[in-house]
Amino acid sequence: MTKKIDKYLPVDYCDTFSIEVTGNKLSPGDIILKVFAHNPAWLQLLYKIRACFVKPFGIETEPFKTKDFIIEEDAREAIMQKDDKHLLFYVDVFITPMPAEKQIIEVTTLVKYHNWVGKAYFFCIKPFHRIIVPMVLKKTLN
């Protein structure tokens, strides 16, 4: 099946994490909002540490209103786009219905670097991204 997010390829980085859930009533856009709203104390601490390191490079550190950045949405897919002077990223949520009220929910991240600062920044946060995204997805949808 073709996904809307595919039209934003090629990129410098791409990953997809998926989870099977039962009885989900959230839309793809609501899932994006819920994932980005999940801010336990340990994650807030990581954000504060990150802010100390990246602020001198002009990287945005303030929270943003996720809903304002959802650029496409239908019943099966929603795409959020956030662009700054260092990098452009997309978050895509795609829902595949399964039998017995189950769904496969896929979260895809695409990143395009605008310059060396974006590349260096994402190189540093990528290991955290790979751990945090599936963890937050599991916490928010189970």
For the beta sheet containing 102-113, the strands, ordered from the edge strand earlier in sequence to the opposite edge, are 13-22, 102-113, 87-97, 77-83, 70-73
Give the pLDDT score at 54.
78
The answer to whether 32 and 93 are in contact (CB under 8 A) is yes
Instruction: Give the pLDDT of residue 8.
Output: 96
CA 115 to chain centre: 21
Q: Is the pTM of this model over 0.85?
A: yes
pLDDT reported for residue 142: 81
pLDDT tens series, the chain, 142 aa: 689 999 999 999 999 999 999 988 899 999 999 998 888 888 888 888 888 887 877 777 776 677 889 999 999 999 999 999 999 999 999 999 999 999 999 999 999 999 999 999 999 999 999 999 999 999 999 8
Q: Tell me, rounded to whole angstroms, the distance of Cα 59 from its chain centroid.
A: 17
d(CA 104, CA 88): 26
